[in-house]
């Protein structure tokens, strides 16, 4: 038997089983940020090997994010039909296999295709991970468990640049995926030990229409962004907006929709917390991507040296996240999340002034501040979201949070792609055009700063709304 929120006094055997599952889910969660952050350090070398420009290079992380965003909500719904633990295991298998074939990618198109496959596996992992944790841990312990899980994300972000830089410099960028294969294999060896309670079906109808329309929205949007400033980009983005209107209209009429429109409309704490998560990732995901290019292209650092500096942000995220998770069990998590976003906003404003002669110490200080802000935001915000819904909505809420995260990451990279298209164009990313890169980087960070100001206001308003709900 596995402890759920209805078991107030679990036995030591139950605690061990529950802890083992948390470890496996946490390792699975670690895979995504580790691979994503480590590959960023290899991008300049990948660009040289395949001879691609800056815009095409930005598709290496974006292809992964696109497929993850497309399949997240369907993966969560599939978890309700086939079992959360089972779909988590399938996702781990697909992610591991896709990582293995990425090692032998012969060209840039093949690399992008394999990254797309990785994203599908990631969606199956992330679409069910938080729901598994929420199922096993009661409200009084859930913040700590979420803090541990979020810490694994930041550990991946922290170790990714450092290990990725070392591997790229001494063994080539393909060696990064050997690590992913080994970690995925570890989870695969244990996922069969998940208890039957995590594989109980909770619905029997899959929303194929909603899944198809949501995929169309994202594909049209990504295609439009990638073609800026061509006239066709406007048509594609407009078609994406039309598809979104149709998607929302269809989902509104379905009894068991893929996208929880009714829940978002009627549960303001849930909707505003998800919006805050979306804004947070929209404004922060591209920080590592841009800074890895800045340190190598503008400052001339080696991949290993750049990776060492990029350790700072996720290190502070990893340190602050479990503390914030524990505090969210004892105090108002909305206040913690809002404070974190304000701190992050200040760091992004500072990055918009970084230039060729900015001291390394100042950059480290900024990254430490952003990492602290992100650590204060993520676990408390997750606690608010999962605490705002009933138990039968855990998988839906988990998938929704993951969708907001990955959609935000897509928007973050979309802002970068637009800036690169307008200011760098088809030119390769070399020290010779570092001025254009710096101008685009500063513009992007200024946009991110303004986005987080909006997010902080929404997060603060969510806190007020939550207080009113508790009093009523």
Given the structure tokens 């509104």, which residue do they identify? 252
How is residue 294 annotated by DSSP?
I
Structure tokens at 211: 């899944």
At residue 341's C-alpha, the angle toward residues 335 and 346, to 5°, is 130
Confidence check: pLDDT of 231 > 50: yes
Q: Which residue has the tokens 């992380």?
A: 61
**Residue 129 contacts residue 149 (beta carbons within 8 Å):** yes
Q: How far apart are CA 162 and CA 256, in angstroms?
A: 44
Q: pLDDT tens digits, residue range 339-356?
A: 888 999 999 999 999 988
Confidence band of 368 (pLDDT split at 50, 70, 90): very high
Q: For 50-78, what is each residue's pLDDT tens digit?
A: 888 777 787 888 888 888 888 888 887 88
Does position 97 have pLDDT exceeding 90, yes or no? yes
Q: CA-to-CA distance for 469 and 472, rounded, in angstroms?
A: 5
Q: Which pLDDT belongs to residue 226?
A: 72
Helical (H) or strand (E) element with 9: none
Q: Tally Cβ neighbours within 10 Å of residue 230.
A: 12
Q: Is the peptide bond before 78 cis (omega within 30 degrees of 0)?
A: no
pLDDT at 462: 57
- The two tokens of residue 20 are 């083992």
Average pLDDT of every residue of the chain: 81
**Mean pLDDT, residues 403-419 taken together:** 83
Q: pLDDT tens digits for 133-163?
A: 877 777 767 667 777 777 777 677 677 778 8
Residues 6+ apart with CB under 8 A from 198: 2, 21, 83, 84, 85, 86, 132, 135
CATH number corresponding to 12-207+254-471: 1.20.1250.20
> How many helices and strands in the chain, by DSSP H and E?
17, 0
Tokens of 79: 């978890």
- Domain locations in the chain? 12-207+254-471, 208-253
Percent of the chain clearing pLDDT 90 (strictly above): 16
Q: Poorest-confidence range of 266-270, 292-296, 394-398, 462-466?
A: 462-466
- Rounded alpha-carbon distances, angstroms, from residue 120 to 90, 127, 260, 317, 368: 10, 10, 21, 26, 32
- pLDDT tens across 168-212, in order? 888 888 988 988 898 888 888 877 777 776 767 666 778 888 888
């Amino acid at each position: 038997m596995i402890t759920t929120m209805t078991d107030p006094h679990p036995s030591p055997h139950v605690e061990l089983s529950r802890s083992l599952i948390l470890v496996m889910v946490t390792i699975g969660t670690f895979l995504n940020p580790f691979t994503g952050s480590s590959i960023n350090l290899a991008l300049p070398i990948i660009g040289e090997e395949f001879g691609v420009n800056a815009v095409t290079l930005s598709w290496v992380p974006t292809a992964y994010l696109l497929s993850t965003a497309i399949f997240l909500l369907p993966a969560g719904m599939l978890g309700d039909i086939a079992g959360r633990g089972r779909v988590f295991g399938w996702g781990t298998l697909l992610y591991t296999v896709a990582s293995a074939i990425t090692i032998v990618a012969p060209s840039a198109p093949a690399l992008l295709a394999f990254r797309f496959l990785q994203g599908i596996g990631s969606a199956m992992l992330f679409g069910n991970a938080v729901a598994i944790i929420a199922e096993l841990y009661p409200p009084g312990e859930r913040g700590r468990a979420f803090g541990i899980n979020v810490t694994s994300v930041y550990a991946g972000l922290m170790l990714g640049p450092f290990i990725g830089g070392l591997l790229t410099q001494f063994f080539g960028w393909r060696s990064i995926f050997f690590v992913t294969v080994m970690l995925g294999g570890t989870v695969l060896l244990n996922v069969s030990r998940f208890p039957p309670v995590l594989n109980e079906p909770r619905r029997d109808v899959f929303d194929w229409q909603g899944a198809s329309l949501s995929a169309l929205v994202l594909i049209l949007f990504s295609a439009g962004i990638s073609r800026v400033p061509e006239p066709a980009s406007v048509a594609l983005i407009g078609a994406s907006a039309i598809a979104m209107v149709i998607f929302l209209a269809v989902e509104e009429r379905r009894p068991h929709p893929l996208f929880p429109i009714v829940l978002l409309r009627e549960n303001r704490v849930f909707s505003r917390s998800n919006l805050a998560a979306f804004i947070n990732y929209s404004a922060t995901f591209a920080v590592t991507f841009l800074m890895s290019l800045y340190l190598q292209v503008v400052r001339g650092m080696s991949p290993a040296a750049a990776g060492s500096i990029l350790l700072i942000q996720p290190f502070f995220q990893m340190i602050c996240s479990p503390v914030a998770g524990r505090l969210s069990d004892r105090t108002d998590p909305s206040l913690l999340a809002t404070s974190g976003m304000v701190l992050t906003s200040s760091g992004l404003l500072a990055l918009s002034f970084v230039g060729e002669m900015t001291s390394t110490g100042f950059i480290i200080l900024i990254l430490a501040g952003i990492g602290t802000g992100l650590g204060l935001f993520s676990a408390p915000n997750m606690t608010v979201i999962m605490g705002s819904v009933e138990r039968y909505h855990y998988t839906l809420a988990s998938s929704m949070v993951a969708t907001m995260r990955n959609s935000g990451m897509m928007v973050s990279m979309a802002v970068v792609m637009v800036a690169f298209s307008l200011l760098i164009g088809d030119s390769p990313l070399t020290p010779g055009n570092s001025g254009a890169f710096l101008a685009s980087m500063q513009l992007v960070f200024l946009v991110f700063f303004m986005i987080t100001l909006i997010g902080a206001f929404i997060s603060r308003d969510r806190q007020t709304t939550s207080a009113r709900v508790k009093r009523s």
